[in-house]
Amino acid sequence: VIAIADTIAVRVYYEDTDAAGIVYHANYLKYAERGRSDMLRSLGIGPRQLREETGVDFAVRRCTIEYLAAARLDDMLSVETRLEKFGVASLDIAHTIARDGEPLARLAILVACIGTDGRARRLPARLRAALAQVSQDPPTIVQKTP
């Protein structure tokens, strides 16, 4: 069981909205990617380090989004990123984008490691180690709750 979850705050600016007065639907994917990037960074290996030190990028392979309610100009949103599982070359990630606790969008995203040639690569050893580390911790945490 993996239970890594991070939450970031995202402000909605004009750049995010469209003529219908709401956040343009594609931009929720940007918010989610900000959350994933920050989670990687919190594990000690941000997207640029990943590129420059290991020669890989994460590419989105599959994405499902449910839109529940619309975000609007100036809203302050929370973007939760949960690593649900990781494989040899990919990560399953879930995001919930919410405003004042009300979920506005839910995303399920499969990202895969690719090399500069676009082909699949194994997760870099350093990232796997960081993920294995955090995935072993949750039991300890669970035991804390009597």
Active site residue 18: yes
Tokens of 97: 């984008």
Distance CA 23, CA 26 (A): 8
Q: Is 73 in the site for a copy of itself (CB under 8 A)?
A: yes
Distances (CA, A) of 118 to 44, 58, 108: 24, 10, 22
- Point out which span in 68-76, 77-85, 89-97, 127-135 binds a copy of itself (CB under 8 A): 68-76
At residue 91, what is the residue type? L
19 binds a copy of itself (CB under 8 A): yes
Q: Which two tokens stand for residue 28?
A: 């929720």
Which residue of the set 18, 92, 117, 137 is catalytic? 18
Smallest separation (angstroms) from a copy of itself to the CB of 18: 5
Find the binding residues for a copy of itself in span 118-137 (CB under 8 A): 118
Tokens of 123: 């997760």
Please give the size of the binding site for a copy of itself, defined by CB under 8 A.
44
Closest CA to 80 of 110, 106, 57: 106
Which residue carries 């969008």 as its tokens? 105
- Six-digit token pair at 89? 């070359």
Question: Is the CB of 14 or the CB of 102 nearer to a copy of itself?
Answer: 14
Structural tokens at position 114: 């690719």
In whole angstroms, how close is the CB of 103 to a copy of itself at the nearest point?
14
Question: Is residue 33 close enough to count as binding a copy of itself by CB under 8 A?
Answer: yes
Residues that bind a copy of itself (CB under 8 A): 11, 13-15, 17-22, 24-27, 29-30, 33-34, 37-38, 41, 46-49, 51, 57, 59-67, 69-70, 72-74, 114, 116, 118
Catalogue the active-site residues. 18
